Chains A and B, each alone.
Chain A
Amino acid sequence: MSHADDTTPLLKTPLHAAHAALGAKLVPFAGYDMPVQYPTGILTEHNWTRESAGLFDVSHMGQASLIGPDHATTAKALEALIPADMLNLKPGQQRYSQLLAEDGGILDDLMVARPSDPTKDGVLLLVVNAACKTDDYAHIAARLPAGVTLEIHEDRALIALQGPKAVDVMARHAPGAADMAFMTVLVTTYDGIPISISRSGYTGEDGYEISVADGDAETLWNKLLAEPEVKPIGLGARDSLRLEAGLCLYGHDIDTTTSPVEGALVWSIQKRRREEGGFPGAARIQRELKDGPARVRVGLTFEGRAPAREGAEIATKDGTIVGRITSGGFGPTLGAPMALGYVPTALSAPGTKVDVIVRGKPLPATIATTPFVPQRYVRKTATKGA
């Protein structure tokens, strides 16, 4: 991971002035000056996203394309770096995966999509984390076969519209958006502005991530905000929303020391790849799949109201320290504290009672299944090749 040090000027997204005008509290995040909250505050923003539609600037994230002569060539090039099945990714389909180190540790997590447009055969669209993007691009570019290139889209913004009413907004302005299935992509327009969208997100709600040219970003942002269902949401609520949805935050819940099996991300490794391997760290990952990992990421719920934060130790009831919290906080929708952390596999069964040490005191906690709040992704099968 590359972090800007204190002397590096903060980068600004194309929406920086729009955030300032809305009265956002701006904080340094992954080298960017980003809105952590708007004047209404994190709780209100969180609840608004769960009830209506929240608008997030996630332009700090990295957008890039892998470009090869045909789908199979590009898919194989990426399969050498990630454990997801890319060969069988259908046109218009999107998948979550991880960029792996040789030892099976996670360098970053990412979204990969195959464009639905047949003239884009051989292209895969990547969205990676802001804090990792420079290293990711170098890692990927150094490992591509001849004929496959990485093109970084520095000139594009990314806006997420998340919540149960996101579809109503998009249905009025973006042709085809309402018919999309979960985890599919589409090139369309919003009131005539060219956009490239996915039906996915990081809140556990139905919604969209909208890629738009930098020059159109503020116009699109303001058009979306003018809709009655839509309010701006900062990174603070983005974190409480994703944690309630049980979604990992890279650099916290998963990192170079955790494998996808330890990170409870086995669902993102399709059967063919589990069997065939052929990705970095395959030997370790296949061994962990067969024998079980030594430790695994779990959810934790608490009896009291005190939140346990990242770094808090997890102990057995007899006081033995067995793991630690990697993300924790208060879930506004859950109405209670929640956390993610690692424990030995033997202690990972839901219902297992443990203690989490907060300010020197054991807080009674229970290993829980995630998501903490049910995910409400759209359940629709792609009918028109998305």
Chain B
Amino acid sequence: MTIRYSKDHEYVRLEGDVATVGISHYAQEQLGDVVFVELPAVGKIVEQGGEAAVVESVKAASEVYAPVSGEVVEVNSELEATPATVNEDAEGKGWFLKLKLASQDEFNALMSEADYKAYLESL
């Protein structure tokens, strides 16, 4: 299982050709208490960098961009009832959606866990 991160603080966890997308632990810390998550419809085609979901904290609304292109094959509808899961376990149970990966190259070009850690330290 391999994980990659975008500069917008989304993560992608790849298993076979299914990419699980969510926001990083750092992103949830920055957002604060999540109160609402809007997820796309299953079957939607998302482009890398396009809006895939919306996450609202007590403070503000933020777009979640697709870190890779693909077709939405599953969404974490449990987040609609318990959005705080994003704060509790952002990179685990707080995942947003699963995509059928369109391009392995897009995935490979994202930051590794070590690169992302270095990127966060540079912010």
B58 contact set on A, CB distance < 8 A: 42-43, 46, 236, 240, 329-330, 332
A-B pairs with CB below 8 Å: how many?
41
Find the residue from B38, B56, B58, B59 having the highest chain A CB count within 10 A.
B58
A235 → chain B closest CB, angstroms: 10
- Surface stretch bound by B, among A68-76, A125-133, A247-255, A303-311: A303-311
B116 on the interface (CB 8 Å rule)? no
B63 → chain A closest CB, angstroms: 9
Give the complex CA separation of A240 and B36 in angstroms. Answer: 15
Contact of B35 among A37, A236, A307, A359 (CB under 8 A): A307
A329 contact set on B, CB distance < 8 A: 58
Scoring A residues 339 to 352 as 1 if CB is less than 8 Å from chain B, else 0, what string do you get?
00000000000000
Interface residues of A, count at CB 8 A:
17
B60 on the interface (CB 8 Å rule)? yes
The answer to whether A305 and B59 touch across the interface, beta carbons within 8 angstroms, is no
B80 on the interface (CB 8 Å rule)? yes
The answer to whether A305 and B33 touch across the interface, beta carbons within 8 angstroms, is no
Give the complex CA separation of A41 and B56 in angstroms. Answer: 15
B54 contact set on A, CB distance < 8 A: 359
The answer to whether A236 and B32 touch across the interface, beta carbons within 8 angstroms, is yes
Scoring A residues 17 to 43 as 1 if CB is less than 8 Å from chain B, else 0, what string do you get?
000000000000000000011000111
The answer to whether A307 and B32 touch across the interface, beta carbons within 8 angstroms, is no
**Nearest CB in chain A to that of B30: its residue:** A25
A275 → chain B closest CB, angstroms: 43
B118 on the interface (CB 8 Å rule)? no
B33 contact set on A, CB distance < 8 A: 41-43, 332
Contact of B38 among A36, A306, A330 (CB under 8 A): A306
Give the complex CA separation of A307 and B61 in angstroms. Answer: 9
Contact of A309 among B35, B61, B83 (CB under 8 A): B61
Give the complex CA separation of A236 and B38 in angstroms. Answer: 22
* Interface of chain A, main secondary structure: mixed
Contact of B59 among A42, A306, A332, A359 (CB under 8 A): A42
**Nearest CB in chain A to that of B29: its residue:** A41
Give the complex CA separation of A56 and B75 in angstroms. Answer: 40
The answer to whether A42 and B32 touch across the interface, beta carbons within 8 angstroms, is yes
Q: Given A42-B59, A332-B58, A306 and B36 touching (CB < 8 A)?
A: yes
The answer to whether B61 and A37 touch across the interface, beta carbons within 8 angstroms, is no
Give the complex CA separation of A306 and B61 in angstroms. Answer: 10
For chain A, residues 157 to 184, give those with C-beta under 8 angstroms from any C-beta of chain B.
none
Scoring A residues 294 to 328 as 1 if CB is less than 8 Å from chain B, else 0, what string do you get?
00000000000111010000000000000000000
B18 → chain A closest CB, angstroms: 27
Find the residue from A36, A306, A332 having the highest chain B CB count within 10 A.
A306
The answer to whether A306 and B32 touch across the interface, beta carbons within 8 angstroms, is no
Find the residue from B32, B35, B54, B59 having the highest chain A CB count within 10 A.
B35
Q: Given A43-B58, A329-B58, A305 and B35 touching (CB < 8 A)?
A: yes
Give the complex CA separation of A230 and B46 in angstroms. Answer: 48
B59 contact set on A, CB distance < 8 A: 36, 42, 236
A330 contact set on B, CB distance < 8 A: 35-36, 56, 58
Scoring B residues 47 to 68 as 1 if CB is less than 8 Å from chain A, else 0, what string do you get?
0000000101111110000000
Give the complex CA separation of A43 and B34 in angstroms. Answer: 9
**Nearest CB in chain A to that of B87: its residue:** A41
For chain B, residues 74 to 99, give those with C-beta under 8 angstroms from any C-beta of chain A.
80, 83
A337 contact set on B, CB distance < 8 A: 36
4 more A-B residue pairs beyond the given contacts A36-B59, A309-B61, with a C-beta to C-beta distance below 8 A: A306-B38, A307-B56, A330-B58, A359-B38
Chain B residues engaging chain A, CB cutoff 8 angstroms: 32-33, 35-36, 38, 54, 56-61, 80, 83
Sampled A-B contacts (5; CB under 8 Å): A42-B59, A43-B32, A46-B58, A305-B80, A306-B36
Chain A to chain B: the 3 pairs with minimum beta-carbon distance, closest first: A330-B35, A43-B33, A42-B58
